[in-house]
Homo-oligomer: A and B are copies of this chain.
Amino acid sequence: MTDLIRATYVVASEEPFDVEKKAIGIALGQTTDTWTPIERGDVERLERHRGRVLAVSEPVQRDGLQLAEISVGYPPENTEGDISTLLVMVFGKVSMDGAIRLVDLELPVSMHADLPGPKFGVPGIRKLLGVRDRPLLMSIFKPCVGLRPEDLAGMFGKQVLGGTDIVKDDEILPDIPNCPTDRRLDLCLEASRAAEESLGHKTLYAINLTGRSDTIVQRARQLVRQGAECLLLNVLAYGYGTLDALARDSGVGVPIVAHPAIAGAIGSAPHHGIAYHIMLGTLMRAAGADVVLFPSSYGTVAFPKKETDAIRDRLTCSLANTPAAFPGPSAGIHPGLTPRILEDYGRDVVINAGGGVHGHPMGSEAGAIAFRQSIDLALGGISPVEADVPELSSALELWG
């Protein structure tokens, strides 16, 4: 018997319930049994495919609910070793059965070994960019939808001049007639090369990969042949399987930035859905994301700090043969937050800002410069008031 997949649920109910019975119902219902005793239910062959209850907690009372934690061990043999069949087993039908939340998911080493994991991760992206040990700065085109490729290329140039390491498309910009992906790739790459020649600073352009599910990997290859050096993917819109396929594909071979769009539909309720650290931490890394963006605990769209800590831990914990992925706390990030980000994430972090770059009173270039100044000062332990940093000072004055 190989190691089991360990899934932990919290079940909530207004009425007292039999936790042990509920646990057995999940373990059997998600594997070999059903709601009636059945003709072949005793077949011995079923035994090695059956889920087993690993632990149950005493119910606790909270918010007028009885809450109990249940851990079930599932045989990896019931899956194809991929995330699609894994999710159907651990949270397929049972997800629809009342108030139940998947709060933890541990995969055996054998499954991690079969899943692709990040092709680049922290070490690979640092090498690509030639940035040894400072946090990376990512900026987002804002506005984005509605602009033409020429407009975006102009904005790209400014962000790069300010010292941005990665510029990403807004996740809501697909391949649309007034801003075709191919065209903006060409123009932004041109801007990137020009900046690299003049400044010696390498910038990756994370271009939004979209398209039909059956041809999206070919589409990615085509963009890479055209020069793309980094891709952005709305993983939950296209499925973990698409990320997995991209990460495995030898014709893709560039870092993938995973965007959390739609994650709130699954993760934000207290007693339902799937914990963010599973979706955006464990599974994103296992499926091959090199950078994972998520709302920070500081900004405009905020996650609880406990959740962002857990996401960070799943992305960066030691895992045999799987490099760490960069956490990318996002949404409402401005340079005043940089010291806190460094404290919470260390140096292996992508600081991701849109409005905090483009809303700078002196413009987007100054916005990026302010961030780089904030990083340098925070790393050096120097207070901005002691330094001559007009861009940063202006940002701090506005946003605090």
Residues of A within 8 A of B (CB): 30-41, 43, 45-50, 77-80, 82, 84-85, 87-89, 91-100, 102, 142-148, 151, 155, 171-172, 174-178, 210-214, 216-217, 234, 237-239, 241-242, 244-245, 249, 259-269, 271-274, 295, 300-301, 303, 331-332, 354-356, 358-359, 363-364
Contacts and interface: CB of A to CB of B under 8 A. Distances in A.
Contact of A268 (B50, B78, B99, B242): B99
Most chain B CB inside 10 Å of its own CB: which residue of A30, A93, A303 = A93
A48 to B, nearest CB: 7
Given A80-B176, A96-B301, A146 B212 contact: no
Contact of A78 (B94, B172, B217, B295): B172
Contact of A79 (B174, B300, B355): B174
A379 to B, nearest CB: 26
A250 B29 CA distance: 36
A36 B213 contact: no
Contacts of A217: 214
Nearest to A356: B36
A241 B79 CA distance: 22
B265 A34 contact: no
Given A264-B94, A264-B95, A172 B87 contact: no
Contact of A265 (B33, B178, B239, B272): B272
A274 B176 CA distance: 26
A85 B265 contact: no
Contact of A95 (B49, B98, B143, B263): B263
A356 B354 CA distance: 55
A101 B97 CA distance: 19
11 contacts: A45-B148, A46-B143, A48-B146, A79-B176, A84-B238, A85-B237, A92-B172, A102-B265, A214-B216, A216-B241, A268-B272
A143 B38 contact: yes
B39 A358 contact: yes
B80 A38 contact: no
Contact of A234 (B49, B92, B96): B92
A394 B40 CA distance: 20
A263 B89 contact: no
B210 A358 contact: no
A146 B49 contact: yes
A242 B261 contact: no
Given A79-B174, A85-B237, A245 B213 contact: yes
A196 to B, nearest CB: 24
Given A38-B143, A261-B93, A264-B96, A82 B212 contact: yes
A212 B245 contact: yes
